[in-house]
Structure 1
Amino acid sequence: MWAQEIVAGRPAWRHTPSGVVFRAVPGGTFRMGLSDAELDAVRAIEQADGADDDLEAFFAGAVQARPVREVQVEPFLIARHPLTVAQVRHWLPEYEDSFADSDASTARLEDDLDDLLKALPFRLPSEAEWEYAARAGTTTLTFRGDDRPDEDQVLDNFADEERTAAAENALGLAAMGSSNEICADVWIPHFTDAPTDARPRTGDGPRVVRGGGGDLSPWQGCDEWLLQLSATRSEFDMFTAVRPVAPVPTNQGHAEQGVST
């Protein structure tokens, strides 16, 4: 069911029935949430942009991604990029996507979401796992640093292997932050009393989504870049992408070293 390969110069695991490529994420610890340093970095961007950005709402809502806390994460596999239209059709052959430009585009699920989640042999990431994977050992706004992300960093179509590889972080994951990706956690607007071992917070209500910078493309100057940040979190609303996770296959050695931030 799993085949080890080299994809874009990095080790990968391919789920052979569906063709979905996964990367192995080593275990480790990290500081989850919007840190004081990250908030200061956003303020610096706001000051540099002058009147073009009004981030009052962002700072008022920053409590939703605080308090920052240390989280321990066990090794896992996560898809290299969100499932594409073609990949979703492996499980839902009749799936149609009004948002997609091609079969290689990110699939954004609405009414079909529950059907896909029931059909997948994988699970959703907890939001702690998602942020750990997105940060890839960094403590900055995105894995690229504390600069304001540009719209050209959004990736929605994975037909171009060269562009996909260029969008990878240090763990070989592409397009983290481009699409709003659903997590296993129920939406709670802060991290108080959240588990420190990356388990999802379960319960009734909408789930957490992470990312979403590409869902508002082309950007209209309404601070869409904030959705690219590693720590940005929001409540599931209309449609979502799915980036599944899976256990590390038992025949893989555990030589990887954890990433700590």
Structure 2
Amino acid sequence: MWAEEIVAGRPARRHVPSGVVFREVPGGIFRMGLSDAELAAVRAIERAGGAEDGLEPFFANAKESQPVREVRVEPFLIARHPLTVTQVRHWLPEYADGYADGDSTTARVDDDLDDLLEALPFRLPSEAEWEYAARAGTTTLTFRGDAKPGADQLLDDFGDEQRTAAAENAFGLVAMGSANEICADVWIPGFAGAPADARPRTGAGPRAVRGGASDVYPWQGCDEWLLLLAATRYEQAGFTAIRPVAPLPPRG
């Protein structure tokens, strides 16, 4: 079922039946949430004239990604990029995507979400796992630093391997923040009382979502770049992308 490969010069594991490429994310401890340093970096972008609109709503909602806390993450496998239309059709052969531009682009799953989650032999990442994977060892707004991210950081079509490889973070993952990716956690504003071991928060209601900057592209000057920030989170509504997670296969 699994094949070990080298993809873009890095070790990877491919789920052979579906073709989904997974990267191994090492375990570790990181500070999860929107830090004071990141808020200051956004303020600096605003002062430099890099914000099209007033960012007070962003700062007012910062509490939804706070308090910052240390979280321990165990090693896991996560898909190199969100599932594509072709990959979703491995589990749902009749799947039709009204949002995608082609078979190699990110699948935006809507009415088929429950069916897909039931069919997948994998699970959704917890919010902690997702943010840890997106940060890839960094503490900045995105893995590229504290500069304002631009449209060049978006990636939605994975048919061009050269472009895909060039967009990888330190964990070999791409498009973290591009599509709105659903997590295993139920949506709860803020991290007060959240687990310190990367478990998802459970309960009734919509799930938490990360990313989504490419879903509103071309940008209309409403500071959609904020969706690329590693700590940006919000409540699920409508279609969503899926980046599955799997446990490490046994060694040897």
Q: TM-score range by the shorter chain?
A: over 0.9
CA drift of 1:53 comes to 2.7
Provide TM-score, normalisation by structure 1: 0.95
Could you list the per-position Cα deviations for residues 119-173 of structure 1 after superposition, in whole angstroms to 9, with x for gaps in the alignment?
0000000000000000000000000000001012111100000111111100000
Structure 1: gaps (5+ residues): 253-261
CA drift of 1:77 comes to 0.1
Matched with 1:22 is: 22
Would the aligned equivalents of 2:125 and 2:183 in 1 still touch at CA under 8 Å?
A: yes
Aligned pairs, how many?
252
Partner SS state of residue 204, structure 2? coil
Matched with 1:41 is: 41
Matched with 1:154 is: 154
Could you list the per-position Cα deviations for residues 171-213 of structure 1 after superposition, in whole angstroms to 9, with x for gaps in the alignment?
0000000000000000000000000000000000100000001
Computed over aligned residues only, the root mean square deviation of the Cα atoms, in angstroms, reads 0.8
Partner SS state of residue 205, structure 1? coil
Would the aligned equivalents of 2:97 and 2:107 in 1 still touch at CA under 8 Å?
A: yes
Percent identity between the two aligned chains:
77
**Shift in alpha-carbon separation, 1:217–1:50, aligned structure 2, 3 A:** closer
Provide TM-score, normalisation by structure 2: 0.99
CA drift of 1:52 comes to 2.7
Matched with 1:224 is: 224
Partner SS state of residue 49, structure 1? coil
Q: Distance in 2 between matches of 1:221 and 1:215?
A: 14
One-letter amino acid matched to 1:115:
D
**Shift in alpha-carbon separation, 1:17–1:141, aligned structure 2, 3 A:** same
Matched with 2:247 is: 247
Matched with 1:114 is: 114
Matched with 1:181 is: 181
Q: 4+ residue stretches of structure 1 with deviation over 6 A?
A: none
Would the aligned equivalents of 2:135 and 2:143 in 1 still touch at CA under 8 Å?
A: yes
Q: Distance in 2 between matches of 1:100 and 1:51?
A: 29
Q: Distance in 2 between matches of 1:73 and 1:133?
A: 10
Structure 2: gaps (5+ residues): none
